[in-house]
């Protein structure tokens, strides 16, 4: 079995930092060595020799990132998200994310088990990093409810429901109650897209009829009230049924206030946000006018829930909730669509713009900038990007932590490095997109080296991994529930 020592670095966990060396044997972490300990001394004096030593002096040694919300090749609005499992997981590796949890899609009329088999087929042998699945239940009926319990035994233990997209994915309250009762019974976790889709549909039709057709109106027709109302309803239905609830891609501060209140009351309710809601806004991005696309430029940032108004103060509140712990995890909701041929379907009708932003490569960097800006501690950075998502989704112990026995998914991060994000020369962008939602972002930090199960897949020369390295990781039940 090969051995590797990462020496001289500062190991960061969700609880703090320590000067430790990390010994990796094969695919696993073998030991954390205090400087001066017997084994560290033996290695230093040459009586025990690892096959390879990586000098991490001056750098952070952190668990590989866990991005618990991606949509590779997702079918949406008559097209497919333009990152495949191959291109999307390679971009993840570039950015220090070593596990993704992608969503299997079941829409009306489809069988859950067939869809799961299809996702296994798409991802198998095509991933640079390890992957797991959540299951979208777009059609709650007797058969899909039965499948939810079967999937638990297959390592798919969380189920996303939609309160938005009537006629496509939306579940009505009765269906939500039935799915929640099933989860309360089988130990699964309900993930909720909380927007009032029926109310939004009315606002969208009215806007289009009045000639308000640009991307800005995507945001204006999905106001915070529609998110807060749905979040409140989901929380009440979870309370009624006893199901644990994880609200995905929260962008409205009012929705988060509701989540915080439920948590204070002792309910198993959790919130997730995404980098776009922390940094970007309705005014600056959705309302943008650019040289190439004119007033359609904002289509790059059309996603749901939408980017929120800076004037309404959402972004600062989201950072605050990240510190308090009421936002449990930061995921990307990586769902990229190119402007050409995909987003441009919505010129003249914003409701036809495929929803989604690509960020899987940049999450670790974007959140580290929060550390540099004094918004998060370095331990909380590791927690929200690595440890908490692993615990939330039943991967902890194996992923999200550097401890003996864990998979050696490790990132060596240079806090004095620099990363320029975007598609221009010298900028970092490896996602399969014709634009970057993060063009021009400058990060005071840099992903230097990435290990996935003991194999270096990114080093200072770039990506050195392989297309079929990543494996499916069956998950246990959430380790976060009260
Ligand atoms: O705009 C988004 N979020 N697209 C992906 C699908 C979803 O609702 O997560
Ligand atoms: Zn969603
Ligand atoms: Zn999503």
* CATH assignment at residue 46: 2.30.40.10
In angstroms, rounded to a whole number, what is the distance separating the alpha carbons of residues 31 and 350? 53
Enter the DSSP assignment of 442: E
Could you tell me how far CA 335 lies from the centroid of its own chain? Answer: 10
Across 91-163, the runs of DSSP E, i.e. the strands, are: 97-106, 130-137, 158-162
Q: Please, what sign has the CA dihedral across residues 345, 348, 352, 353?
A: positive
In angstroms, rounded to a whole number, what is the distance separating the alpha carbons of residues 403 and 127? 25
Domain boundary among 345, 369, 392: 392
Q: Where are the alpha helices (DSSP H) in 302-405?
A: 314-324, 363-372, 378-382, 388-392
Q: What is the pLDDT of residue 403?
A: 98
Ligand nearest to the CA of 304: 1
Q: Which residues of the chain have pLDDT under 50?
A: none
Measuring from atom 1 of ligand 1, which residue has the nearest CA?
Answer: 303
CB 333 less than 6 A from any atom of ligand 1: yes
- Tell me the CA distances in angstroms from 310 to 151, 165, 271, 283, one per residue in order: 41, 26, 20, 7
> Tokens 């600062």 label which residue?
316
The CATH number that applies at residue 279 is 3.20.20.140
Output the six-digit token pair for 159.
Answer: 């189920």
Residue 199 falls within a domain, yes or no? yes
Atom number in ligand 1 closest to CA 71: 5
Looking at the fold, whether 271 and 319 belong to one and the same domain comes out as yes
In angstroms, rounded to a whole number, what is the distance separating the alpha carbons of residues 222 and 200? 6
Looking at the fold, whether 426 and 305 belong to one and the same domain comes out as no
Looking at the fold, whether 220 and 342 belong to one and the same domain comes out as yes
Looking at the fold, whether 313 and 430 belong to one and the same domain comes out as no
Domain boundary among 392, 423, 440: 392
CB 332 less than 6 A from any atom of ligand 1: no
What are the strands of the beta sheet with 52-55, ordered from one edge? 28-33, 21-25, 3-7, 52-55
Q: What is the pLDDT of residue 332?
A: 99
Cα(54) to ligand 1 centroid in Å equals 39
Cα(193) to ligand 3 centroid in Å equals 8
Enter the DSSP assignment of 200: H
CB 356 less than 6 A from any atom of ligand 1: yes
CB 274 less than 6 A from any atom of ligand 1: no
Q: What is the pLDDT of residue 37?
A: 85
Asked whether 99 and 464 are in contact (CB, 8 A), the reply is no
The kind and range of the H/E element at 53 are strand 52-55
What is the dihedral angle through the alpha carbons of 206, 136, 188, 93, rounded to the nearest 10 degrees?
A: -110
Q: What is the pLDDT of residue 39?
A: 84
The interface predicted TM-score (ipTM) is 0.98
CB 355 less than 6 A from any atom of ligand 1: yes
Output the six-digit token pair for 389.
Answer: 């998502």
| Domain housing 168 | 65-392
CB 71 less than 6 A from any atom of ligand 1: yes
Looking at the fold, whether 139 and 90 belong to one and the same domain comes out as yes
What is the dihedral angle through the alpha carbons of 369, 370, 376, 378, rounded to the nearest 10 degrees?
A: -10
Looking at the fold, whether 76 and 216 belong to one and the same domain comes out as yes
Residue 469 falls within a domain, yes or no? no
Atom number in ligand 1 closest to CA 165: 8
Residue 475 falls within a domain, yes or no? no
CB 195 less than 6 A from any atom of ligand 1: no
Residue 480 falls within a domain, yes or no? no
Looking at the fold, whether 413 and 446 belong to one and the same domain comes out as yes
Q: What is the pLDDT of residue 423?
A: 96
Q: Report the predicted TM-score, pTM, of the whole model to 2 decimal places.
A: 0.98
Largest Cα–Cα distance of the chain, in whole Å?
78
The kind and range of the H/E element at 12 are strand 10-13
Looking at the fold, whether 312 and 426 belong to one and the same domain comes out as no
Output the six-digit token pair for 288.
Answer: 């943008």
Q: Report the candidate in 32, 72, 1, 101 with the shortest Cα–Cα distance to residue 410.
A: 32
Residue 279 falls within a domain, yes or no? yes
Asked whether 269 and 238 are in contact (CB, 8 A), the reply is yes
Residue 323 falls within a domain, yes or no? yes
Looking at the fold, whether 211 and 273 belong to one and the same domain comes out as yes
Asked whether 21 and 29 are in contact (CB, 8 A), the reply is no
Contacts (Cβ under 8 Å, ≥6 apart) of 16: 379
Cα(462) to ligand 1 centroid in Å equals 30
Asked whether 59 and 414 are in contact (CB, 8 A), the reply is yes
Q: Mind listing the pLDDT tens digit for each residue in 153-198?
A: 999 999 999 999 999 999 999 999 999 999 999 999 999 999 999 9
Q: What is the pLDDT of residue 36?
A: 79
Looking at the fold, whether 114 and 86 belong to one and the same domain comes out as yes
Looking at the fold, whether 456 and 367 belong to one and the same domain comes out as no
Domain boundary among 372, 392, 412: 392
Number of domains in the chain: 2
Residue 35 falls within a domain, yes or no? yes
Residue 477 falls within a domain, yes or no? no
> Tokens 């049924």 label which residue?
241
Looking at the fold, whether 207 and 354 belong to one and the same domain comes out as yes
């Amino acid at each position: 079995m090969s051995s590797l020592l990462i020496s001289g670095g500062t190991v960061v966990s969700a609880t703090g930092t320590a000067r430790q060396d990390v010994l990796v044997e094969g695919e696993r972490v073998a030991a954390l060595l205090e400087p001066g300990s017997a084994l560290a001394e033996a290695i230093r004096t040459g009586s025990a020799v690892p096959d390879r030593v990586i000098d991490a002096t001056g750098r952070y040694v952190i668990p590989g990132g866990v991005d618990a919300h991606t949509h590779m090749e997702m079918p949406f609005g008559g097209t497919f998200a333009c990152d495949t499992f191959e291109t999307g997981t390679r971009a993840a590796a570039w950015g220090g994310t070593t596990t993704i949890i992608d969503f299997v899609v079941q829409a009306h009329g489809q069988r859950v088990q067939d869809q799961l088999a299809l996702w296994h087929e798409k991802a198998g042998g095509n991933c640079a990093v390890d992957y797991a699945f959540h299951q979208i239940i777009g059609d709650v009926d007797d058969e899909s409810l039965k499948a939810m319990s079967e999937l638990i035994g297959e390592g798919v233990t969380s189920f996303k429901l939609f309160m938005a997209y009537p006629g496509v994915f939306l579940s009505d309250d009765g269906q939500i109650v039935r799915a929640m009762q099933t989860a309360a019974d089988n130990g699964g976790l309900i993930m909720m897209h909380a927007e009032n889709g029926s109310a939004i549909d009315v606002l969208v039709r009215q806007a289009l009829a009045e000639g308000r057709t640009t991307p800005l109106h995507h945001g204006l027709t999905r106001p915070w009230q529609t998110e807060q109302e749905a979040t409140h309803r989901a929380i009440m239905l979870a309370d009624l049924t006893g199901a644990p609830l994880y609200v995905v891609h929260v962008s409205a501060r009012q929705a988060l206030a509701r989540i915080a209140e439920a948590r204070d009351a002792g309910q198993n309710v959790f919130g997730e946000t995404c980098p776009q809601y922390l940094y970007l806004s309705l005014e600056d991005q959705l309302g943008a006018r650019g040289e190439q696309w004119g007033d359609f430029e904002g289509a790059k940032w059309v996603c749901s829930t939408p980017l929120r108004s800076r004037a309404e103060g959402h972004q600062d509140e989201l950072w605050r909730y990240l510190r308090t712990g009421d936002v449990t995890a930061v995921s990307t909701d990586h769902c990229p669509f190119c402007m050409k041929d995909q987003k441009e379907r919505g010129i003249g009708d914003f409701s036809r713009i495929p929803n989604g932003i690509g960020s899987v490569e940049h999450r670790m960097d974007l959140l580290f900038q929060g550390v540099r800006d004094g918004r998060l501690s370095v331990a909380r950075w590791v927690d929200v990007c690595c440890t908490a998502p692993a615990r939330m989704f039943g991967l902890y112990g194996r992923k999200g932590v550097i401890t003996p026995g864990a998979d050696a998914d490790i990132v060596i991060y240079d806090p004095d490095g620099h990363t320029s994000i975007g598609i221009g020369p010298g900028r970092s962008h490896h996602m399969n997109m014709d634009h970057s939602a993060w063009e021009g972002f400058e990060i005071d930090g840099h992903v230097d080296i990435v290990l996935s199960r003991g194999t270096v897949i990114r080093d200072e020369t770039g990506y050195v991994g392989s297309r079929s390295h990543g494996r499916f990781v069956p998950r246990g039940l959430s380790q976060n529930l009260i």
